[in-house]
Amino acid sequence: MIVWFVILYLLVSVGIGLYAGTRVHNAKDFAVAGRSLPLPIVTATVFATWFGAETVLGISAIFVKEGLRGVVADPFGSSLCLILAGLFFARRLYRMNLLTIGDYYRLRYSRSVEVLCTLCIVASYLGWVSAQIKALGLVFHVVSDGSVTQYLGMIIGAAIVLTYTTFGGMFSVAILDFVQITVIMGGMLYIGHLISGLTGGVGAVISHAAAAGKLEFFPEASLHAWIPFLGAWMTMMLGSIPQQDVFQRITSAKDEKTAVRGSVLGGTLYFLFAFVPMFLAYTATLVDPHMFGTLLEKDPQLVLPTLILQHTPVAAQIVFFGAVLSAIMSCSSATLLAPSVAFSENIVKGSCPGMNDRTFLRTMRIVLVCFTAMVLAFALNSQASIFKMVENAYKVTLVAAFIPLFAGLYWSRANNQGALCAIAAGLTTWIVLELVGPPAPLWPPQLVGFLMAGAGMIGGSLLPRRGCAIRAPDHPKTME
C-alpha cells in the first residue's frame, strides 16, 4: 500500500511540474518565475528548499549521537543564513534586478570575479544535491522492503525530479513547494503526536534528552571547544548566503518587501520544524533502546524510517513517507535548478554574448540535464553521510564567495583587486589546509580560509591598484 501511494504521489508531482511548465515562456520565467511570487509562495519555497534529506534523516541521526552541539551547522547555522539573507542582503540584491548571484560579481567587480565565484558556487551544489538523491534512494529502498536497491532508487529519483524541473523551472519548484509544505508540516506534526504517545508524551522525551545531556548547546569555556564550534556554525550560516538557490528565492518575489519577509519567515519556520525529526529519532531510542542502539552504530540514517515502519500503523507510514518525499523532492529540484541557471548565465552565456532568449532557455535545460548526471554519479560513488555531504558543501563558498559579496555591498572601498585577492587567499589557504591539515587541530581549514579571504579583501582593496580595477557602478545594469 505504501509503495502504491509513493507511485501515485510521484505521478501527481510530475503532473504539477509539467503543468507549471506551460507558464514558462522565456529564460526569466524559467530562472526566477517572472519575479511574480506572493509572500505565501516565497515563504513556502524558502522553507521547503531547506527542509530536505539532511533535516529529516541527517540532522536527526546526528542529534541522537551528539546532541544539539552536533547540529550547530544545521539547523542553527542554516536557519540564521536565511534570516540574515532576508534582513541584510535581500533588499539590496532585489533592487539590482539580476538573474543570478554571479551577475552581481560581474557588475560590482569584473568578469574574472564573476567566473571564479560562479564556479565555486556551482561546485558547492555537488554535495548538497547528491545528498538529496542519496536520500531518495534510501526512501525507495525502505518503502519497497528492499525490492528497489538504493542505487536504483537514486536513479529513479533523479529521473523524476529532473523531468518536472526541466520543463517547469522555477515555476514548478515554487508551486510544488507550496503543495509540499502542507504535507511536510502536517505530516511531521501528526507523526510527532503519534510517536510521543509510545514513551509517555513530549515532556517525558524532552526530560530524558535533557538528563542525557543532549540539549546542551554551548561548549565548555575553552578555545579548543569554541573555535571548531564557531567554524561549523559559520560554514552554513555565512557560506550559504552567496548561493544561487537563496538568491533565486529573493528575486522570485513580486517585490522587495515580499523578498525580505519571505526569507525571514521561511528561515524561522525551518528552524522550528527541524526539531521535529530530531524529536522523533530520539524517541526511537526510548521505544527500543537495544535495536535502535545497534542501528545507530550500523547506519543512523535508518533510525527514523525503521521506527515508523515498525511502530506505527499504515496510515501513519503513508503520511511520514509522503512528508519525507515532499521534503527531499522540493529540496532536490530547487538545488538542481540553481547551479544550472548560474552556470548557463555566468559561464556559457558570458562566453557567447550574442545568444538569444530561446537559445538561452534551451541551454539552461541542457545544462540542467548534464548537472543531474554529474550529481547522480557523485551520489552513487560517495560513502559520506547525508549530513556531512551537506555540511561540506558550503566550505568553498564560505572561503571564496561570501567576503566579496558582503564587502561589495557594505564597503565602498572594496574593488576588483581586493575581490581577486580575497578569492585567491581564501581558496588557497583552505585547499592547502584540507590537504596537509590545519596548523592546530582546533582551527577548521574553512575558518582559516575565511579569515584569510577577509584579510585579502582589505589588503587588496587598500593597496595601489594595478590594471583597470572596476568599482561598483552607481546605477548597475539590470536584467531585461
- 11-35: pLDDT as tens digits: 887 787 777 777 777 777 777 777 8
286 within 8 A of 208, measured Cβ to Cβ: yes
Please, which pLDDT band fits residue 391 given cuts at 50, 70 and 90? low
Q: Cell for 275?
A: 526539531
User: What is the average per-residue pLDDT within 410-438?
Assistant: 93
pLDDT at 176 over 80: no
Poorest-pLDDT segment among 203-207, 256-260, 288-292: 288-292
Residue 302's contacts (CB-CB under 8 Å, 6 or more residues apart) are 138, 142, 295
Q: From CA 179, how far away is CA 30, in angstroms rounded?
A: 19
pLDDT top residue among 411 and 147: 411
346 within 8 A of 102, measured Cβ to Cβ: yes
Number of separate helices (H) and strands (E) present in the chain: 25, 0
What's the confidence (pLDDT) of residue 312? 84
pLDDT at 257 over 50: yes
Q: Residue 465 has what DSSP assignment? A: P
Q: From CA 285, how far away is CA 292, in angstroms rounded?
A: 6
What's the confidence (pLDDT) of residue 480? 41
pLDDT at 263 over 90: yes
What CA–CA distances, in Å, run from 1 to 8, 137, 139, 308, 318? Answer: 11, 19, 15, 15, 8
User: What is the average per-residue pLDDT within 193-222?
Assistant: 89
Please, which pLDDT band fits residue 369 given cuts at 50, 70 and 90? very high
316 within 8 A of 191, measured Cβ to Cβ: yes
What's the confidence (pLDDT) of residue 238? 95
pLDDT top residue among 470 and 367: 367
Residue 373's contacts (CB-CB under 8 Å, 6 or more residues apart) are none
Shortest CA distance to 273 belongs to which of 48, 45, 20, 2? Answer: 48
Length of the chain: 480
Q: Find residue 37's DSSP bridge partners.
A: 253
Q: From CA 245, how far away is CA 49, in angstroms rounded?
A: 8
pLDDT at 477 over 80: no
Q: From CA 192, how far away is CA 272, in angstroms rounded?
A: 13
199 within 8 A of 286, measured Cβ to Cβ: yes
386 within 8 A of 135, measured Cβ to Cβ: yes
Helix axes 314-343, 303-311, angle to 10 degrees: 150
Helix intervals (H) in 288-382? 289-298, 303-311, 314-343, 349-351, 357-381
Residue 112: its H or E element: helix 111-143
User: What is the average per-residue pLDDT within 279-303?
Assistant: 83
Mean model confidence pLDDT for the chain = 86
Quick one: residue 348, left, alpha or beta (phi over 0 = left, psi -120 to 50 = alpha)? alpha
Please, which pLDDT band fits residue 386 given cuts at 50, 70 and 90? low
pLDDT at 36 over 60: yes
284-287 — which CB contacts under 8 Å span 24+ positions?
284/64, 285/64, 286/198, 286/199, 286/205, 286/208, 287/195, 287/198, 287/199, 287/311
247 within 8 A of 66, measured Cβ to Cβ: no
Q: From CA 131, how far away is CA 154, in angstroms rounded?
A: 10
pLDDT top residue among 102 and 3: 102
Q: From CA 422, how far away is CA 418, in angstroms rounded?
A: 6
The alpha carbon dihedral of 429, 430, 431, 434 has a sign of positive
For residue 75, cis peptide bond before it (omega within 30 degrees of 0): yes
Please, which pLDDT band fits residue 387 given cuts at 50, 70 and 90? low
